[in-house]
Structure 1
Amino acid sequence: MKHYLNIILAIFFISISFSCNEKTVKVVEKKSNNTLSFVKTKGAKLVDDNGKELILRGTNLGNWLVPEGYMFKMEQVNAPRKIDELLYELVGPDSLQVFWKGFLNNYITHDDIKYLKSIGVNHLRLPFHYKMFTDDLYMGERNSGFKYFDRLIDWCRQEQLYVLLDMHCAPGGQTGDNIDDSYGYPYLFKSKSSQDLMVKIWVDIANRYKNEPVIIGYDLINEPIAHYFNDELDYFNHQLFLLYNRIIKEIRVVDKEHTIFLNGSNWSGNFDVFEELVDDNVVYEFHKYWFEVNQEAIQTYMDFRDKHNVPIYIGETGENTDEWVNDFRILLDKNEVNWCFWPYKKMNNLRGIMNFNQPEDYHLITEYAKSDRSTYAMVRENRPDILKVQKALNQYLENSLYKNNFVNKGYTKALNFKID
């Protein structure tokens, strides 16, 4: 009987996903003329083809192409491969593949992009995993990167929004923590094969989008080198500098137009990595969370901008109270800093622009994530009822759709975006 019910639920799961797929295909068929132009650096400014200054104001599409444990309410299971493993244990391979398909189709849709344009967002930062450009199975698919890039780019072309491509998870791991889906160490900087693969992926991306002005630039590596490895920071900084140089040179062979965004080391906060300026169309990026809002908090980056006459950009910040977000946004605007707050959408959380409800029985998943899964015996003992889990995952897919989302008005207002 249980086997029969599982089959029915799997079919229901698949029907949801296929239904969403059909909607997506219909949207993609709609075309509009693009009036966006390539964006370049001009001194400390970003300008379009007509020389008009563009100050970036945007949000990150976090959790979509790089699932994060805390956004799934799984603090202990906090990297994409660990989330995948946990869900595999809960529902098995077939239902897991269907879930990922529904998630990729539902979490970000054309409706989300239309909404973001309507409130005043002018660009989106898109975190992605390098595995989307390999034969590795990732979120139920292989080599799916251009499929989802093209889909988003088409929506953004219609709505006239720029897209910044952000390699959030690099081969070998660039950070050494959960956010890069690594194995606890930034092996990227000690692995030639990982660096070769990373360069190849960026060259392939640049070659495909070299004539696409919707792409504002290439954000090469997210938050490289966590502070845990500061005893080797001089070594890592130099290796990162060399890798940046190599990737830029390789990209410029096929794409001389697009702006390149370079993160500092130490979670993007340390600009010592920039031993010299190696390209005249580069934006220098920092991230900063959880601090007292004052001029001193960003002055290091202002000094770098003024000394070298280059643009700076805070690619991630936020995850705080409405009051804090408002105060920091005002400070950034006062200093004419390009910004992109994190994130756009989260489940059952006020610290983002968009929100959606947590499904009934979803607590079974979060409780299992906290349980002892160190042996097969413990996995079997602690695994909750599969039917309830599948129902919760089905509801998650439905709740995450834009039509079932609701705006965190305080957070959105704090960013000075429009409120309906």
Structure 2
Amino acid sequence: MKQYLPLIAIIVLIITMFSCKENIPEKTEKPIEHTLNFVKTKGTKLVDDQGNEITLKGTNLGNWLVPEGYMFKMGQVNAPRKIDELLYELVGPDSLQVFWKGFLNNYITHNDIKYLKSIGVNHLRLPFHYKMFTDDLYMGERNAGFKYFDRLIDWCREEQLYILLDMHCAPGGQTGDNIDDSYGYPYLFKSKSSQDLMTEIWVKIAERYKNEPVIIGYDLVNEPIAHYFEDELDNLNHQLFLLYSRIIKEIREVDAKHTIFLNGSVWSTNFDVFEELVDSNVVYEFHKYWFDVKQEEIQDYIDFRDKHQVPIYIGETGENTDEWVNDFRTLLDKNEVNWCFWPYKKMNNPKGIMNFNQPEDYHLIIEYAESDRSSFAKIRENRPDILKVQNALNQYLENSLYKNNFVNKGYTKGLSFKVD
């Protein structure tokens, strides 16, 4: 590999150049006057401080702070740490760190936020990994959560968009599957140290943003408890309810203003977890994918809303045809359900608002992800040409920039957002 080292150094420099092509605005020294007001619940509605009703219509900034294998087209390499490991095997630690820096700077920029505001989006759901608030190395950085939160908040304040903070990956894992970077079981509900850390992180976030109206609320944990554990569901539901109650109580000691969003269990479909209503400023959240669009598919959530006189919100849905997206969005609007479709942006995929091209040599990464990596011998045998991989990653960073993206017009029209 020695003959590659000078070239690799040059390529690392090229990646750095790519990652800086769309400059991140510096934090302004003069405070920006914000006109967004705090949002709270009022019966089944959400209202601002002036009493104006708000129906949430938005999209998830998926894959940015929580990389997902299917969006990187890596198949079973489908959790953040597995993606990181695969890329480490392909390009080594220095190039990997530079790639993550470029990815974090390029994938979502101020221009993306300007665009989303221009088409009619009124809020963004931001998935994040708990490791962004720890000393763990995550996407090439440690304790970087507030750096990226503050950056997005500045952009959204300028564009007048609300942000919902979503802990997509909790300590110990809340699902026992890939989406929360867990280890095959929802150990969050068996681990006091994990629950302590999760609570500590949310309190830290609440302390920082207690006076920030751009934050519409705190989505405490995404899609807790996978369906694989339904034989334990009664106990896990109770543990989740106790954890919700604890975190809300501790958040309220430092932040009495922000709305709390609570997911149902079993991938956020099961509202049995809500043994009682523990706070007056809570939105109850469900997620739902891949079904025939019929009123009965959402009726249980409508009934819960009407019975308890609380707002409901579908925090994730989509990943379907343009026609399906239009039909389901229409049904949600008819029933006055707050919604947020998944996701905003993907590579070479029409099932989202925004799209970008797959690099020419990126198939090498896909093929390696599908290969046998069970031993060091197999890793060496199946690893593709490092220069071609580096080129593909360079081009990925460039293609993911807003200026090189293109709109999935049918999908966006289906959401009733503006299409030029």
> Alpha-carbon deviation of 1:8?
1.2
Match of 2:243 in 1: 243
1:228 and 1:396 map into 2 onto residues whose CA distance is 35
TM-score by length of 1: 0.98
Superposition map of 1:369-384 within 5 A: 369-384=369-384
Match of 1:351 in 2: 351
Superposition map of 1:98-137 within 5 A: 98-137=98-137
Match of 1:88 in 2: 88
Match of 2:402 in 1: 402
> Alpha-carbon deviation of 1:126?
0.1
Match of 1:203 in 2: 203
Match of 1:65 in 2: 65
> Is the 8 Å Cα contact of residues 174 and 180 (structure 1) preserved in structure 2?
yes
Structure 1 stretches of 4+ moved >6 Å: none
Match of 1:37 in 2: 37
Q: Secondary structure of 2:53's match?
A: coil
Q: Secondary structure of 2:280's match?
A: coil
Counterpart residue identity of residue 248, structure 2: I
Superposition map of 1:179-258 within 5 A: 179-258=179-258
RMSD: 1.0
Instruction: Note the residue ranges of structure 1 that are not aligned, 5 or more in a row.
Output: none
2:237 and 2:364 map into 1 onto residues whose CA distance is 43
**Structure 1 residues 27 and 348 mapped into 2: Cα distance closer, same or farther (>3 Å)?**
farther
Q: Deviations over 1:269-294 (max 9, x none)?
A: 00000000000000000000000100
Counterpart residue identity of residue 405, structure 1: N
> Is the 8 Å Cα contact of residues 59 and 343 (structure 1) preserved in structure 2?
yes
> Alpha-carbon deviation of 1:26?
4.3
**Structure 1 residues 13 and 320 mapped into 2: Cα distance closer, same or farther (>3 Å)?**
same
Match of 2:157 in 1: 157
> Is the 8 Å Cα contact of residues 174 and 187 (structure 2) preserved in structure 1?
yes
1:339 and 1:230 map into 2 onto residues whose CA distance is 27
Match of 1:138 in 2: 138
Q: Secondary structure of 2:319's match?
A: coil
2:4 and 2:110 map into 1 onto residues whose CA distance is 38
Match of 1:366 in 2: 366
> Is the 8 Å Cα contact of residues 177 and 226 (structure 1) preserved in structure 2?
yes
> Is the 8 Å Cα contact of residues 128 and 168 (structure 1) preserved in structure 2?
yes
Of stretches 297-306 and 6-15 in structure 1, the one that deviates more from structure 2 is: 6-15
Q: Deviations over 1:187-237 (max 9, x none)?
A: 000000000000000000000000000000000000000000001000100
Match of 1:16 in 2: 18
Instruction: Note the residue ranges of structure 2 that are not aligned, 5 or more in a row.
Output: none
The number of equivalent residue pairs is 418
> Alpha-carbon deviation of 1:10?
1.4
2:409 and 2:31 map into 1 onto residues whose CA distance is 31
2:275 and 2:67 map into 1 onto residues whose CA distance is 33
TM-score by length of 2: 0.98
1:26 and 1:138 map into 2 onto residues whose CA distance is 23
2:115 and 2:31 map into 1 onto residues whose CA distance is 18
Match of 1:263 in 2: 263
> Alpha-carbon deviation of 1:11?
1.8
**Structure 1 residues 29 and 346 mapped into 2: Cα distance closer, same or farther (>3 Å)?**
farther
Q: Secondary structure of 2:131's match?
A: helix
Q: Secondary structure of 2:24's match?
A: helix
Counterpart residue identity of residue 5, structure 1: L
2:339 and 2:31 map into 1 onto residues whose CA distance is 29
> Alpha-carbon deviation of 1:14?
2.2
